[in-house]
Chains A and B, each alone.
Chain A
Amino acid sequence: MSIFAEDPALSRRDKVRRTVLTIALIAAFLGGVLLFALVIAPDIGAAGGCGGG
């Protein structure tokens, strides 16, 4: 059974795996935002992307 399944009857093991994965993904997201915000300043155009190239 996939831990992504919308199934309320997940096994205890799957619930633990889902929780660990959720925490890891939230940490990755927050880390990514922090890294990008502090280190990288995107060069971006007014209409998005490269601003027309």
Chain B
Amino acid sequence: MPPELTSTRDRPADQDRSADRDRSADRDRSADRDRSLARRWLWTTVALTAGAFVMAAAFAPSGSAAPDRGLAWVLFAGSSAHVASTGWLYTLRDVRSYAANRPWRFIRVPVLLMIAGAAAAATLTPAAMTWLLLPFFAWQFFHFAKQNLGLTALAAKTAGAPPLRTAERRALIASGLAGTCGLMARPALLQLRIDPGLGALFPLSAAAMAGAVAAGLILLARRAPAQRPRGFCVMYLIGLFFSVPVFVFASPYAAVGGMTIAHGMQYLLLVSLVAAGGPGEAGRALRLAVLGNVALIGGAVLAVTSHLHSGGPAVRLVFGAYLGAVLAHFVVDAGLWRLRDPFPRAFLARRVPYLIRTAPAISSAADIR
């Protein structure tokens, strides 16, 4: 029908339908784009994690020899630089406001940990301090397990799979704890020269690891095929097998280095995406540049101070503050990425919306930490 013959009542209706179609097409395009970006995050995380383990196993020096320059630099990025990058989050105004509203987790406890670490290192002998490093590393590897749990929960969300069930979460945490117990039983894998007399715990930990992996595999297989998309399965398996090198390799760099690098690279990728996303196109390059410098300079400071464990009390004080700073990173991260809280959800939705929008609403238990 020619336009001039269309009734005045029909014309707005046609226009409305056309506008609805346009809006629907826009939504579809936006959803496709979100799914594509989420897939890229997921598979980049998988590639970084797998690459870390392969690199550590391939280039691990034998015995107590130092790693070559390449492995040392990747370890630096995965450990000191990634810890320092948490500091960059405080450059964001909304994070500072959130921290100010929760001063205990985000300000007071981190400061107290640094003070307590400094006081302990300055007053205790280096030998006694080495014993304190055992619980320090236990916390560190529990922190790794929590991140694996969170990334798997996020992978489920982005892949459109149902959230992790309680038993699936327990299997992931159990495998992480088994790896941590294995390390406590063999502190030589952490390059600690102490003997806590827990040698018998190592085979028990290995058995617990095997049990956790078996339980995780059975739980994964019990999901309906539509509920276990490939990306989610790969991320879940990565979390499940993350600590296996502890029981396979005798070299510390092969046993532990891969986990350290993988954890740090997963974190740096997510923080970089946060820096690259969000409001203010013009500020994106500036945010990334600031993040790069904070990670590099802060990482260098942490790396230097990590070696001050055997000087006089004043020097050891700095070493203790370093340990406290790393612990503060664990505490801050455990709060800042907890997706059951409104702020972390809004924080990520603003900066990496494709990781939040691509699937049904988050269950109460889906945390990045």
Give A residues with C-beta under 8 Å from B: 3-4, 6-8, 10, 15, 18, 21-22, 25-26, 28-29, 32-33, 36-37, 41-53
Contacts and interface: CB of A to CB of B under 8 A. Distances in A.
B365 interface: no
Which label, helix, strand, loop or mixed, suits the secondary structure of the A interface? loop
Given A6-B280, A29-B293, A43-B307, A49 B73 contact: no
Interface in B291-334: 292-293, 296-297, 300, 302-303, 306-307, 309-310, 319, 322, 326
Contact of A53 (B76, B93, B130, B282): B130
B282 A15 contact: yes
Interface residues of B, number: 54
Contacts of B302: 49
24 contacts: A4-B91, A6-B93, A6-B279, A10-B282, A22-B285, A25-B286, A25-B289, A25-B292, A37-B69, A37-B73, A41-B69, A44-B79, A45-B252, A46-B253, A46-B257, A47-B252, A48-B78, A48-B260, A49-B306, A50-B306, A50-B307, A53-B130, A53-B133, A53-B319
Closest 3 CB pairs of A and B: A48-B79, A25-B289, A49-B306
Interface of B: 66-67, 69, 72-73, 75-76, 78-80, 83, 91, 93, 126, 129-130, 133, 137, 140, 187, 189-192, 252-253, 255-257, 260, 264, 278-280, 282-283, 285-286, 289-290, 292-293, 296-297, 300, 302-303, 306-307, 309-310, 319, 322, 326
Given A32-B300, A50-B309, 10 more contacts: A18-B283, A25-B286, A25-B289, A41-B73, A43-B72, A43-B307, A46-B191, A47-B137, A48-B260, A49-B302
A16 to B, nearest CB: 12
B191 A36 contact: no
Contacts of A36: 73, 296, 300
Nearest to A38: B69
Contact of B326 (A6, A15, A49): A49
Interface-central residue, B137, B286, B302, B326, by most chain A CB under 10 Å: B286
Contact of A4 (B286, B297, B306): B286
From A8, A21, A46, A50, name the one whose CB has the most chain B CB atoms within 10 angstroms: A46
B252 A44 contact: no
B292 A52 contact: no
A32 B296 contact: yes
A51 B289 CA distance: 29
B190 A52 contact: yes
Nearest to A51: B191
A18 B73 contact: no
Given A43-B66, A44-B76, A53 B126 contact: yes
Nearest to A8: B280
A41 B309 contact: no
Contacts of B278: 6
A53 B252 contact: no
Contacts of A53: 126, 129-130, 133, 192, 306, 309-310, 319
Contacts of A28: 293
Contact of B255 (A8, A33, A45, A46): A46
Given A22-B289, A25-B286, A53-B310, A42 B303 contact: yes
Contacts of A42: 72-73, 75-76, 303
Contact of A29 (B66, B264, B296, B303): B296
Contacts of B252: 45-47, 51
